[in-house]
């Protein structure tokens, strides 16, 4: 991967500017710094390796060299997007899921609510959105996406909290990383135009992992809920039927979702 190859492969997309790195601490950190100095909508940071890739809740995202995608796309939320900011995270996961399923014909692609993409119930991509604020308005939302592409991208299981895999392992054939990046970006750009519409929530809902299964959602150290995963509501909250039969809605936030029984 290099700057010229990326720039020419992505030339059909309406990107503002592309910055490629062989190695940086975190593509989100780089994008947030760039945004402060005026990066335009759809500016892209892409790196081969991250030395301190970020996950949610201060967790780490591991990006091995020559094997993965790690990129961050800078978005300037439009006025109508200000009230649906939490949906930028599922925008990333829906774009990855649609790309793998529709453009690469990968089977059993699902989204582990709210933000991880699974193939055959193993984690293949993670999304982390970080936002900067000016008063009450979000100035910039950085959508950071890590995708395990080749088998070498998959970290050893003892470093992980959930089983992982890669696109090539599940698809069974080689995948060009930069073309995959272009496909995901074009899905992000297309789905962003529908992010305020019910079609977006329906598409996301169709990919939900563990539907109809018993799941355990841990929201804080002291609060969790277990029950059947029903789907998402019109706000993108997770609907759970609890063991007592009532319906419960889990709002976006730093929650952790697991199958209550082994997947």
Provide the binding-site residues for ligand ATP, judged by CB under 6 A: 55-57, 59-62, 115-116, 123, 126, 128, 146, 148, 155, 160-162, 164, 256
**Of 39 and 46, which CB lies nearer to ligand ATP in the complex structure?**
46
For residue 116, the minimal CB distance to ligand ATP (Å) is 5
For residue 110, the minimal CB distance to ligand ATP (Å) is 13
- Rounded to a whole number of angstroms, the distance between the first and last alpha carbons of the chain is 35
- Residues contacting 39, CB < 8 A, separation 6+: 16, 17, 31, 74, 140
**17-24 vs 43-50, strand pairing mode:** parallel
DSSP H or E stretch at residue 200:
helix 198-206
Q: Which residue is nearest to ligand ATP (CB)?
A: 55
For residue 137, the minimal CB distance to ligand ATP (Å) is 26
For residue 226, the minimal CB distance to ligand ATP (Å) is 15
For residue 145, the minimal CB distance to ligand ATP (Å) is 10
**Of 15 and 45, which CB lies nearer to ligand ATP in the complex structure?**
45
Q: How far apart are CA 233 and CA 238, in angstroms?
A: 7
Region of residue 58 (left: phi > 0; alpha: psi -120 to 50; beta: else)? left
**Of 196 and 256, which CB lies nearer to ligand ATP in the complex structure?**
256
Cα 209 to Cα 45, 75, 124, 228, 253, distances in angstroms: 29, 27, 13, 12, 18
**Of 39 and 95, which CB lies nearer to ligand ATP in the complex structure?**
95
DSSP H or E stretch at residue 189:
helix 177-192
**Of 52 and 160, which CB lies nearer to ligand ATP in the complex structure?**
160
For residue 78, the minimal CB distance to ligand ATP (Å) is 26
**Of 15 and 99, which CB lies nearer to ligand ATP in the complex structure?**
99
């Amino acid at each position: 991967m290099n700057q010229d190859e990326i720039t020419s492969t992505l030339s059909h997309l309406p990107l503002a500017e592309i910055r490629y790195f062989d190695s940086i601490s975190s593509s989100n950190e780089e994008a947030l710094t760039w945004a402060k100095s005026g990066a335009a909508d759809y500016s892209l940071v892409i790196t081969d390796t991250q030395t301190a890739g970020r996950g949610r809740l201060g967790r780490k995202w591991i990006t091995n060299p020559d094997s993965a995608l790690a990129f961050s796309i800078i978005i300037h939320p439009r006025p109508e997007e200000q009230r649906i900011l939490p949906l930028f995270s599922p925008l990333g996961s829906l774009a990855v899921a649609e790309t793998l399923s529709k453009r690469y014909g990968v089977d059993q692609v699902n989204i582990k609510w709210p933000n991880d993409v699974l193939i055959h119930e193993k984690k293949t991509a993670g999304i982390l959105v970080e936002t900067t604020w000016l008063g009450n308005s979000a100035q910039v939302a950085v959508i950071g996406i890590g995708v395990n592409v080749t088998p070498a991208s998959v970290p050893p299981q003892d470093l992980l909290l959930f089983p992982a895999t890669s696109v090539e392992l599940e698809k069974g054939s080689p995948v060009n990383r930069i073309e995959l990046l272009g496909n995901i970006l074009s899905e992000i750009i297309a789905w962003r135009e529908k992010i305020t519409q019910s079609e977006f929530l329906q598409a996301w809902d169709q990919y939900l992992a563990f539907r109809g299964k018993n799941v355990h959602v841990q929201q804080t150290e002291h609060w969790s809920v277990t029950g059947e995963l029903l789907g998402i509501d019109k706000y993108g909250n997770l609907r759970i039927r609890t063991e007592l039969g009532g319906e419960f809605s889990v709002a976006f936030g730093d929650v952790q979702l697991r199958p209550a029984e082994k997947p």
